[in-house]
Amino acid sequence: MKRTGKKLQGIIPAIVTPIDEDGKLNLKLLEKQAGYLLDGGVQGLFACGGTGEGAYLKTEEKRLVFHTLKQMLPEDKFLCAALINSNTRAVADEIAALGDLEADYIVATAPYYHAASQTDILEHYMTIAKKSPVPLIVYNIPSTTHNYIEPETINKLIAVKNIAGVKDSSGNFMNYTRGLFENQNKEFAWIQGEDYLCGANFLAGADGVVSGLSNVRIEPYVEMYEAFLNNDARKIKECQVKINKLYKLIHLYGNGNASIKAATELYGRGSRWMQQSSMSLDDTQMAEIKKILDEYER
């Protein structure tokens, strides 16, 4: 890995990790999906995160995903490599194992499974930041880690060398904007991870969005960012309405990622199969996904 000079900003899809029914990575479909997103005008890719089922992937599988995507990226695009692990040592081990890859950023959640104090979380990120050869993105997703990163902890992390920003998927927009407005370090990036809040995020003046749902249709996200750059609040709101319409996919079944992967299959650039095979949608469920997509396209 090497240091990046690329600003963490814009539309950053949390790309799916396509697999075949037998569980093997399908790198051709990964390239096809990445090509769709890059052609759509995104600023970077976020690989092996929640939508990318990173917690299920072996280190060597992550290596293949990161390498495949890095080879496709133009010079002006960046790769965020998520190393989703339950503890500090496991993240550090993967940094060491994948240190030859040229990701622009690495991403880590708070520790999970066991309850972690804010002191534990702070030490976790300080240790990872020291060990990482590239800037670190703090990933706040308490719905899966069950350890929320409090605003006071984020404020302390802002001052830590080699931490580039936070991706906040907590849905707590009050705390998020408190940090955004009160932060004096303009190099620290504020990235929203909740699709319902994309428009509000840009209207508040934040830096970017990481979205899993954008795998399905990237257009409203890219249009929203262009509207943000052009100070077009009305267009931002119009794009948010489109995203909300697409969000019906997430509500349809228990696992939103399964719906996203199913939609990419229907568009011919992905596969429905989930790492936990029982989560994959069947043909009847796929038909319901198609109805929502048809409604969106009208």
Predicted confidence at residue 3, as pLDDT, reads 44
Tell the residue number behind the tokens 């790198």, with chain if given: 27
Contact criterion met (CB below 8 Å) for 43 and 77: yes
Measured in residues, the chain has a length of 298
Q: How far apart are CA 116 and CA 119, in angstroms?
A: 8
Query: 2 falls in which pLDDT band (50, 70, 90)?
Result: very low
Task: List 210's β-bridge partners, or say none.
Answer: 12
CATH class of 10-232: alpha beta
Predicted confidence at residue 5, as pLDDT, reads 62
Each domain of the chain, given as residue ranges in start order, spans 10-232
Give per-residue pLDDT as tens, 188-197.
999 999 999 9
Average pLDDT over residues 77-104: 95
pTM of the predicted structure, to 2 decimals:
0.96
Residue 209 in tokens: 């969005």
CB count within 10 Å of CB 21 equals 11
Q: How far apart are CA 221 and CA 243, in angstroms?
A: 8
Query: 102 falls in which pLDDT band (50, 70, 90)?
Result: confident
pLDDT above 70: residue 1: no
Please state the φ and ψ torsions of residue 233, each to the nearest 5 degrees: -65, -35
Contact criterion met (CB below 8 Å) for 39 and 21: no
What is the overall mean pLDDT for the chain?
96
**Calculated CA dihedral for residues 7, 11, 14, 17, nearest 10 degrees:** -100
Torsion region of 268: left, alpha or beta (phi above 0 gives left; psi -120 to 50 gives alpha): left
Q: How far apart are CA 293 and CA 298, in angstroms?
A: 9
Residue 281 in tokens: 């949608």
Give the residue ranges of DSSP H helices in 51-197.
Answer: 59-72, 88-97, 118-131, 142-145, 151-158, 173-182
